[in-house]
Structures are given as C-alpha cells and as structure tokens.
Structure 1
C-alpha cells in the first residue's frame, strides 16, 4: 500500500506485464495495422490519415516470456505500487510549493497538532491559538520581545500607572538623599588633594550610590511583583487593573523581597570568598584570579535563577522552591536564556541612555554652569542638576521596567510550554474548548 498518496516511488522498476498499455506481451500485434481504407473527408482532404509504413514491425513475443518493448515510456510515467496493469497510469500529484501545505492524513499537516517540522512545503508550526499577546506554543525570540511590547501597548492603563508611580517615588527619594548626602561634597581635580579628602569623597559617593541602588531594588521588586500578574493575565487575553494586580501580588511580596535579598547576599558572599583572600594577602594577582572566577560564576548563577521571580509569584511557592523551579526550567537551555536576557539588557540600556542623556545635558548646561563648572567639581548638589536627570530616569524606567519584567515572565511561560505542556492548561484557562485534542 502506498503511504504517500500522490507520490510515485522513485527508481522503482515495473514488474513484467505491468507496463501501461500492454497485457503481458501476449496480445500485442506484431505490426500496427495500417489504415489505407479510411476515406478522405470532402471538406477536409488535408486531414486524411496516411498509413504508417515507417514504424518497424516488432517480433512476436511468446506468452510465457514477456520482455520490455523497444520503446521506453517517457520519464515521469511510473505507476504507483499496487496499480493494476489495465488501469491508466496515475498522474503524480505535484509537490507543495513555497508556502503551501502538502496534503496529508491530518488535513494538510504532518502531525496531530504542531505538524511535522521540516516536512515538504512546511516551514514552521501551523498557527496556534492566540487568546492573548502570545500564541500558545513554544515561542521564538521575536515573539517574546513582541509579546512584552504588545502587553505594554494593549494594557497600558495597568502597566503605565504601576511603573510611573513607583519610578517617581524612587527618584524623589533618591534626589532628596543625594541632595543632603552630597551637599557638602566637592570634587576637585587639583593635585594637592590629600589622601584623607579623597577617601572621604569616595566613601560619600559609594554610600550615596548604595542607598540609591537599594531604593531602586525595592522599587523594582514592587514593579516586578505587580507586572507579573498583569502579564500572566495578558497571556490569556484578560485585563487586570492596578488594584487587581496589587491584591494578587501582595501575599507574595515579602517572599519576593526575601528572594531578592538572598540572591544579593549570595553574590556578595561568593565575591568575598573568592576575592577577599587576595586583598588580605596584598596579592594583586590572586585578587584578579579570584575576580575572574567570581564574575563568570556569578553570571551562570544569575541566569540559572533568573526565572525564580515569576515562579515564586505565579506558583505561590516559597523562596527555596522558586529557586529549584528556576534551576529546573533553565536546565539544558542556559545559553538560550542567557542570550535573550543579555539582548534584553542591552536594549534596555540603550533605550535608557537615549532618554536620560538629553536631560543630563540640559541639567549640566542650564543648572550646572556648563562643562567648565562640571570639570571643576562644583555645584554637584544643585537641585537643578539632580531634578532634571531624575525626570529622564522616571521616563526611562517607566518604559524599561515593564519591558524587562515582561520578557522574564514570557520566558518563564515559554519554558513551561516546552517542558510541561503549559499551553494546554492556558488554553483551558482562556476558555478554548477541546484545544489540543484534535488535529490542526
């Protein structure tokens, strides 16, 4: 039986007696009959069929020993296996062209649901259900990025207030802290600065940066917790208000803070173990080796636990279980998640710089006394120098934070679809009946 309807078997040799137009050679006349008796039509005398004397006569073949005829059939006329000798040769169906679906036992697909990747004429999976911002199937890089942007555009009434309010609060607190901590700080480029002044300046700058970064981390935690709920509903095509997002994320907020602090403490502890011995031994080479070991190890662990936040929020799990879930989902796909995370970070960095740089330039020119004043290190605590760049940071964070959070949530959803068939559960949650049970 031919398993591929319409496909002829290439290179097959017809069995004896199965040539089209013959009957085993037993009933084939030795010479084709001439037609001299056919009268010419009066109205069309030029259409008279002459005799065919030039065709050579074929020798008679015994019935028990059929052979091939002298003339071979033209190429492409092989009959399908199992075809009777009397039946005319089956016309082979043309293969599917570019962008066409070949005929098959599943209604034009090679598989019950996602098709047969790489099959003739099939250049990717068939269209999947898309109740929300992403199709319910394994996602590509473009679909993950597009899903994050589509959620920001479609559900901006929920996304924009969350990020705008949190970013504004973070920057207001940061500006006030910087004003009072850097008010008496003057950076001098003269060569007669004492070592004590340099240490005080460096210490004040690092302390200010640490406090600002801590506030930034707390704001990011709140945004991540609430936006995770918004994005999870956007996958199902459902809207989520700010109050709904806060109500759903609030029970896990303390655990998310604990998860973030645990990861930060682990990174610091790992650096202390690897770098501190070289510093204490006053050995620069040992310290550099420790740093070169610490940095790639930190990146590897950061990617391995990058999905812990959405796992903790959406699965309502504990901190340790969220870390274990992230490690399981990232396993064997570390490089893919690392590449997507790195690309997202690079895009977010350039977007932020494009927005913040003009505000910083305006603050320096208008309120900082120009580039000369900046080189002299004066007016570092000027209100205008602090407020104008903060406005740029608010705008940048309002755009960048939901983009990065959305990519992380969609990466988590994608990994669960690939490993656990989450698309079926999502389809049921979206109200799609009998999804995945029939072909197509």
Structure 2
C-alpha cells in the first residue's frame, strides 16, 4: 500500500527516507521509535513476528515530484455532532464552531452566529440589489428628504412658473363664464352648445398642455437628481439642468408621442362602430363603438405600461426616442403586472397627497371669493375672479411640489430595479459609487433573474 499524503494514524512513526519494496510496501525503518521516544532495535518479544509494514501508517511528508497533489482539507460546513463527525455541509465533516455558514463563533459564513446573508451595499437611497415595492417608495421619499433643497427647489420653481401661466390665461384669456352660462341654459341651441363645449375643451386643453410641459421639465431634472441619489451623490439645480438639457427636446417628443399612440389605438377600436353608425344602424353602431373602444383602451393601457420606463431610459442612457421605447419594452417584458401595480400605487399615493393639499385650498378660495361651493359648481373658474384663482393656485403649487418627486422618483427607481434584476446593474452602480470589492463578496447580483 502506498502512502497517502495528508492522512496519519495516531502514534504512527515517520517514514521519511523509506524506499518501497517490489510489492509497493515501504520497508521498516532501521530504528523505529514508539511514542515514548525510546530506541528499540527489535519489536517486543510478545509481538508476532509477522507484523504489517509500519510504512503504510506513516505520517504525511513533503510532496515529491510526480506525486498527485494532496486532497483539500475539510472545508467549511455546518459540522457534525462531534469533532470529525459526519454531517458537514456538502458531504464534508467538521466540528461545531468551525468555519462555516454561521456556526457558533465561526469566523466565516453569512453573517456569523446563524445570521442571514450580509446586507447589500447601500451607498445612496436604495440598497444595490433587487428592490421591493416599499423600498422603491421609500427611495423616492428618501431622495426628497435627503436632497430637499434641490428636489423641492426644482419642484417649486416649475410649479410656480406653470401655475402663474395658468392663472394669467384663465383670468385674462380663457374666461369661460359665457360658455358655462350657455351650457346651463336649457333654451340654448345645438350650435350654441357645440360652440360652448368646444371653447371649454380648448380652455382645458391649454391648461393641460401648460401643466404637461411643466411636468416634463420637472421629470427631466428630477430624473438626474434621483439617479445621483442612488450613488449617494448630491447634485445642484444647475448641474441637473446641464445634464438634462441635451435630452429635453427628445423627452418632449416622447411624452407627446405616447398619448397619441394610446389615442390612436382607442380610435381604431371604436372605428367599426362609428362606421356602422354612419351606415344608419345607430343603436347597434353605438354599442359596437363602446365595446370596441373599451377593448382598445385595455390594449392602450398595456402599451402605455410597456413604454412607461422609456423616459428614464431616454434621460439616463442618452437614447433616441425609438431606442428608449425599445429599452422600456425589454425591461418590462415578463414584469408587466409588477410594473403596472407599482406605477398605479405611486399614482394613487401622489393623487391622495395632492388632494389633501388642494381640496382645502379650493374650499378656502371659494369661501374668500364669496360664491361658496355652489359658485364653483355653477359658475366655473372664469367667473370666480382673481381671489379664487390665486388661492387655489397656491394649493396647486404646494400639491405639485410634493407630488413631482414621488412620481418621477418611483419611475426612475423602478427602471433601475428592473435593470438590476435583468442586467446586474448593481455592479456598475457599486463601481460608480466607489464600493470596494462589491462583485466578489456582496450578494445580490442577479443577472438574468
């Protein structure tokens, strides 16, 4: 039997310098020694003369040339019930307290002392790993709280500018009091009603357009702020504007293109019913138009959620409009319901926050204007005067200042979360944040998950 390096029987003698015989067994040494170290040239008289060669029980000796490398020592594991006992992790044996996955006192493993995996690196407002819904919402709020000067400064500036334009237009140009009186007049003709409805829609469209333009600018700037907050880096308003400005026109185009796509889908769905109505079957055509419009609205919603991450892809990856839409579709694929649920939850929260602020100001504006709530319902905004417009405008500014960071922050963090799950973006983020040895020791790399 040949010696096996790394294994030794307790009390065996050293066999360094032995030469194996023809059978492969090592020859006995000239002067074997027992455990007490006494020199014995012959075995005791009460021993049998036919003893196995002591060379097969030798202690390990340095590896010679041409020999196979020794097997690795028992690795870290859970350990057996006793030293050297079976039951170690992965088929290895070990003792309690040895290195392993959190054995008592063990220096190695996940967390030690039977703990879980170590926490992921968190250089900024989110940990660098796949995020939960609460962590995405908390990251948006944390960005607003930690970098409040920049975030609230951007939101306040955009909200004040847009609201001033809206108030001036509603007070000087878009006076819809005449149209409201016409709509409330039972004796109004069809042409008068049509003209009044057209004016009301035009006024609402102008206000919506101004609000949308302000939202686009706020979203562009807050996207930059949130992306830096993930790395734990602050950014000034001037820096955010400098980073966002090259992509701002593309963001305008993307923001206007997506609603047009949705409206086109709904129009196509309702078109068969409209054609039936024009052919003379009014009732059947109206029902068909409604059903077709509803089915098309569901399809439009699916498309809108599929492209909902195009805005951060366009701003952060410096992509074109078409490429950013393609990136969003790729990131949302397989996670449509999750993205839809998070976006819906963020929208509900933002609307609740805005309502808590705006509704009391609307009641206060109605009370100060002297017309009360009935004046809001019967006279419209154009007949309530400057008091109502200014007071309600203040409420709208405060509401927008609080909701802009929530909606923009959730969209950006959801985009980053999807890239972490699919593309291991956490590695790039860790390097950008200066986290040392993140890829080799920190958990949470989930490429392709």
Q: TM tier, shorter chain?
A: 0.7 to 0.9
Q: Which runs of 5+ in 2 are unaligned?
A: 1-73, 89-93, 278-284, 444-449
**Deviation of the 1:242 alpha carbon:** 0.5
1:244 aligned counterpart, secondary structure: helix
Which residue, 373, 388, 395 being the options, matches 1:385?
388
State the Cα distance separating 1:183 from its structure 2 match: 4.8
Secondary structure of the 2:441 match is coil
Match of 1:260 among 246, 251, 255: 255
- 2:120/2:442 contact within 8 Å kept: no
Greater share of residues in helix: 2
* Alpha carbons 2:268, 2:296 under 8 Å: kept: no
TM-score, normalization by structure 1: 0.73
Structure 1: runs of 5 or more not aligned: 9-76, 84-89
CA gap 1:376/1:154 in 2 versus in 1, 3 angstroms? closer
Deviations 1:136-179 (CA, angstroms, capped at 9, x unpaired) = 11111111111100110111111112111111111111122222
1:376, distance to aligned residue in structure 2 (A):
4.3
Who is 1:331 aligned against? Answer: 333
Alignment match, 2:230: 235
Deviation at 1:314, TM superposition (A): 0.6
Matched position secondary structure for 2:233: coil
Q: Which residue of 2 is the match for residue 108 of structure 1?
A: 109
Instruction: Give the alignment of 1:15-94 within 5 angstroms.
Output: 80-81=85-86
- Greater RCO, CA 8 A, separation 6+: 1
Across the aligned residues of Structure 1 and Structure 2, the Cα RMSD in angstroms comes to 3.0
Does the residue aligned with 2:440 lie in a helix, a strand or coil? coil
Aligned residues of 2:223 and 2:409 also touching (Cα < 8 A): yes
User: Superposition pairs for residues 167-316 of structure 1, below 5 Å?
Assistant: 167-179=159-171, 180-181=173-174, 182-187=176-181, 189=184, 191-282=186-277, 283-316=285-318
Partners in 1 of 2:157 and 2:270 — Cα distance?
39
Q: CA deviation at 1:92?
A: 6.7
Tell me which residue corresponds to 1:21. none
Shift of 1:284: 1.0
In 1, Cα distance between equivalents of 2:266 and 2:306: 18
* Residues 215 and 101 (structure 1), Cα distance of their counterparts in 2 relative to 1, 3 Å cut: farther
Deviations 1:360-379 (A, max 9, x none): 11122221512344454377
Write the distance in 1 (CA, Å) between the matches of 2:267 and 2:107: 60
Query: Which residue number in structure 2 is paired with residue 322 of structure 1?
Result: 324
Matched, 1:5 2:10: no
Provide TM-score, normalisation by structure 2.
0.72
Instruction: Find the counterpart in structure 2 of residue 356 from structure 1.
Output: 358
User: Measured at CA, do residues 205 and 7 of structure 1 come closer, stay the same or move farther in structure 2, by a change above 3 Å?
Assistant: farther
Q: Is the 8 A contact 2:162 2:211 kept in 1?
A: yes
Distance 1:240 1:293, change over 3 A: same
- Contact 2:118/2:442 (CA < 8 Å) preserved in 1? no
Partner secondary structure for residue 184 of structure 1: helix
Per the TM alignment, residue 216 of structure 1 is displaced from its structure 2 partner at its CA by 1.3
Counterpart of 1:371 in structure 2 is: 373
1:292 offset after TM fit, Å? 1.5
Secondary structure at the counterpart of residue 80 of structure 1: coil
Name the CA shift for 1:82/1:224 in 2 (closer, same or farther; >3 Å).
Answer: closer
* Match of residue 17 from structure 2: none
Does residue 433 in structure 1 map to residue 428 in structure 2? no
Task: Confirm or deny: 8 A CA contact 2:85 2:95 kept in the other structure.
Answer: no
